Amino acid sequence: MQQRSMIRLGVPLAVAALALSACGSRTDSTTTSTAGSGTKTVKIGVIAPLSGNLSALGLGIKNSVDLAVKQANESNAVAGWKFEVIAVDDEAKADVGKNAATKISSDDAVIGVVGTLNSSVAQQTQPVLDAAKIAQVSPANTNPTLTQGADAAAKKRPYANYFRTCTTDAVQGPFAAQFLLGQGIKNVATIHDKKTYGQGLVDAFTAEFKKGGGTIVSAETIGENDKDFSTVISKIKPNAPGAIYYGGEYPQAGPLSQQMKSQGLNVPLMGGDGIFDPEYIKLAGATATGDLATSVGAPTESTDAGKKFLDQYKAAGYPEPAAAYGGYAYDAAKAIIEGAKTSLKDAKDVKSARAATLAAIGKVSFDGVTGKVAFDEFGDTTSKILTVYKVDGGKWAPSKTDTFK
């Protein structure tokens, strides 16, 4: 994940709910421009949580794809073709995501999908979309196995249709470990939520932290729906860790931080991109000051391309902010559109062009919002830039941006 070049703005859940009620259903199909006679339609799907605790992230993904599609139509990116967006809510649930992929893959006009937010959901959408030869480009999935298989010693790409514009936990976890070791923190306790993203992040962090001479004084887990963390905190506290490293997302991480501080465990909580959202700070409260998160890329507002994206997003009038993965979703949609420029050039219909689209996406190379957009032989982004953020004055502030080595 999810999660990344980011926008440090939040969205109240009530606003997200209002946006969803306006849609009237979990499926939102958007016609983005008026086309002339004889123009054919090609669709880009979005699979993301458009409702629930993670909707602040999912709605930012959907809107950012919509912006890329609008701009493609305005520039007549592919002559004779008009792009549309079809968005389906996966509720951040694997089974719902699989159904969303099935629904989208039944539409012969779909050439690619941007999503998902959660790695656990991607595990279910990958085979469905691959069977239909529909490209999937995730702005947020970070579990390494999605692109390199379960055997780290013998990497093998499971699905040729799958790409991502964000770096993986194999980079993000070690980056966090190196940062804490550089701060003189040698003893850390880990907690994860047992989900694919959280466990993978902690595993990668743990290996690098031990390699650098650090000690994991306690390794605990919680349930993804837990609200009371007193038991796990009581297990960790006697071991006197210098920090807590958490693998999971902000709905649990925020309350965990608040509760551990109130119980006298006054050390920083650090997590990955899954906690890098203003909602984390709201949930964690005033004691969140000093907590840390890694996220992929440089801060969006720190680059010219990022500033331009922010201005264009604001001008488009979306009711929700682009949030953590807006820039990556925009670049994911652009990668699909760039691929379509090649595959649809002489195609009679979308379905027959899907295989050629996959090949074309694998060869894209352009300067995006998040930096250079290109993919390696596994479908992973070639970019390895990450940023550590710290909670300061009630906001996430960048602390260190660097290229992982």
How does pLDDT run along the chain (405 residues), one tens digit per residue?
543 333 333 333 333 333 333 333 344 544 333 444 589 999 999 999 999 999 999 999 999 999 999 999 999 999 999 999 999 999 999 999 999 999 999 999 999 999 999 999 999 999 999 999 999 999 999 899 999 999 988 999 999 999 999 999 899 999 999 999 999 999 999 999 999 999 999 999 999 999 999 999 999 999 988 999 999 999 999 999 999 999 999 999 999 999 999 999 999 999 999 999 999 999 999 999 999 999 988 898 889 999 999 999 999 999 999 998 999 999 999 999 999 999 999 999 999 999 999 999 999 999 999 999 999 999 999 999 999 999 999 999 999 999 988
CA nearest to 325, candidates 46, 77, 98: 46
* Residue 216 backbone phi and psi in degrees, to 5: -90, 105
What residue spans define the domains of the chain?
13-167+300-374, 169-296+386-403
pLDDT tens digits for range 206-253: 999 999 999 999 999 999 889 999 999 999 999 999 999 999 999 999
CA nearest to 321, candidates 19, 8, 5: 8
- Whole-angstrom distance, CA of residue 114 vs CA of residue 108: 16
| pTM summary value | 0.83
- Whole-angstrom distance, CA of residue 61 vs CA of residue 70: 14
CA distances from 258 to 69, 155, 365, 384 (A): 40, 40, 43, 32
Q: Which CATH superfamily is domain 169-296+386-403 in?
A: Response regulator (3.40.50.2300)
- Whole-angstrom distance, CA of residue 394 vs CA of residue 403: 27
pLDDT tens digits for range 339-376: 999 999 999 999 999 999 999 999 999 999 999 999 99
Instruction: Determine the length of the chain.
Output: 405
pLDDT tens digits for range 9-25: 333 333 333 333 333 33
Q: Which CATH number fits domain 13-167+300-374: 3.60.9.10, 3.40.50.2000, 1.10.3720.10, 3.40.50.2300?
A: 3.40.50.2300
Asked whether the domain spanning 169-296+386-403 has the same topology as the one spanning 13-167+300-374, the reply is yes
- Whole-angstrom distance, CA of residue 14 vs CA of residue 160: 39
